[in-house]
Amino acid sequence: MAIKSRSENMTSILKNKSILVTGGTGTIGSALVKQAIIENAKKIIVFSNDENGLFELEEQFSNHKNIEYVIGDIRNEDIVSSIIKNIDIVFHAAALKHVDRCESNPFEAITVNTIGTRNVIKYSIIESVKKVILISTDKAVNPIGVMGATKLLAEKLMSSEGFQQNSKTILATVRFGNVIKSRGSILPKIEKQIAKGGPITLTDQRMMRFFMSEHDAINLILSAADLAKGGEIFVSKMPLLNLKELFETMKEILAPKFGHDPNKIKMKTIGIRPGEKLIEFLLNNTEMENALETKNFFIIPPISKPERLKKYVGAKKAKNIQNYFEKLQPISKKEIKNLLKQSYES
């Protein structure tokens, strides 16, 4: 895959910096590695427990000698402390993200998503890392399942340490929904079902989710790294999609490519899984009261630091935000088709 740069008018914050990407073999992690290459980072450490993924990345970027590939577990304090030495920016993407797996393995989810984040924070502060950006999820908003609860705790650790500690390390979080085509997500699964001629499995016809492109996800992460003062959460403004209409649109686009008649591929409703909600939310009610906004994202400053409300260039106090979300409707099938086309052609 060709590496594409961000918008030309966006300032590089990675140039000549030493970068650590945890969970660096995942969709977001590997995209951050590519972006660090584009922006001429001085050094890149890719940290993951995925041995095969590290091998594939090393093969892909074999011409780039400034990249170090480290296999390990984010729960291991010794290895976390060693890889954070002499790092400028940490992008913390390592996590257990599958709702059903976290429900059936809650202790693993807690130790990876929450304790792992605590390890990153602890040693980033000790080693005077300049900035740490946590990759979080909309499932952390009013969570009903293990995965969302562990990510909420990770967010709270970032926000608390972000303005209470006296070190030079700036800690902030980005929160977004589903990234189109991300590894292990619902879209590749549905694509495989379509390729086999169906059936397509749908949990509930009413289920809706927020989606964004990989490009938008990376832009949000780097914008947060650029703007963060400490303890904030940056939330992308994403389109809301009805999953039934999304899957129907995918069927119309992809079925002919696999030699199938879209009208003959059935959809099977299987019911909501433990830990799932019909619709996710991007902010909770308290966050809505304090949020700032730009054209593309919301900024949630630490609740105990309201003086930070005027310190973000291009941001203003979010008005009628409750009304904004109450009136938010899922996008049309035509808009879904355009979103899919952009993502699959990128």
Query: What CATH number is given to the structural domain containing 84?
Result: 3.40.50.720
**What per-residue confidence (pLDDT) applies to 310?**
59
CA distances from 160 to 7, 301, 343 (A): 33, 11, 36
Q: How far apart are CA 150 and CA 234, in angstroms?
A: 18
Range with lowest mean pLDDT among 55-59, 184-188, 239-243? 184-188
Catalytic residue at 139? yes
Categorize the per-residue pLDDT at 50 as very low, low, confident or very high, splitting at 50, 70 and 90. very high
- 66 domain residue, yes or no: yes
The tokens for 36 are 């660090």
Stronger pLDDT, 130 or 186, i.e. the higher one: 130
pLDDT tens track for 317-343: 888 777 677 778 899 999 999 888 776
Q: What contacts 31, CB < 8 A, 6 or more positions away?
A: 214, 217, 218
Query: What residues are paired with 42 via a beta bridge?
Result: none
Q: What is the pLDDT of residue 8?
A: 43
Count how many domains the chain has: 1
Asked if residue 50 is part of any domain, the answer here is yes
Identify the band that residue 6 occupies on the pLDDT scale cut at 50, 70 and 90. very low
Kindly state the helix (H) or strand (E) to which residue 344 belongs, with its residue range: helix 333-345
Report the pLDDT averaged over residues 103-109: 97
Higher pLDDT: 94 or 329? It is 94
Q: Choose the catalytic residue: 131, 139, 244, 277.
A: 139
Look at residue 326 in the predicted model and tell me its pLDDT.
73
187 domain residue, yes or no = no
List, as one string, the DSSP characters of 86-135: T-SEEEE------HHHHHH-HHHHIIIIIIHHHHHHHHHHHTT-SEEEEE
For the stretch 263-272, pLDDT in tens is: 999 999 999 9
Q: Check: pTM over 0.75? Answer yes or no.
A: yes
Token pair listed for 30: 């590997």
pLDDT band per the 50, 70, 90 thresholds, residue 225: very high
Q: Is residue 255 part of a domain?
A: no
**What mean pLDDT comes out for the span 150-175?**
88
Whether residue 105 lies inside any domain: the answer is: yes
pLDDT at residue 127 greater than cutoff 90:
yes
User: Is 275 a domain residue?
Assistant: no
Let me know if residue 274 belongs to a domain: no
Give 307's pLDDT tier (boundaries 50, 70, 90): low
Indicate if the pLDDT at residue 241 is higher than 70.
Answer: yes
pLDDT on residue 165: 57
Examine residue 82 and state whether it is found in any structural domain, yes or no: yes
* Host domain of residue 152: 18-177+211-237+283-319
Q: What percent of the chain has pLDDT over 90?
A: 69
- Return the pLDDT at 164: 66
pLDDT at 11: 62
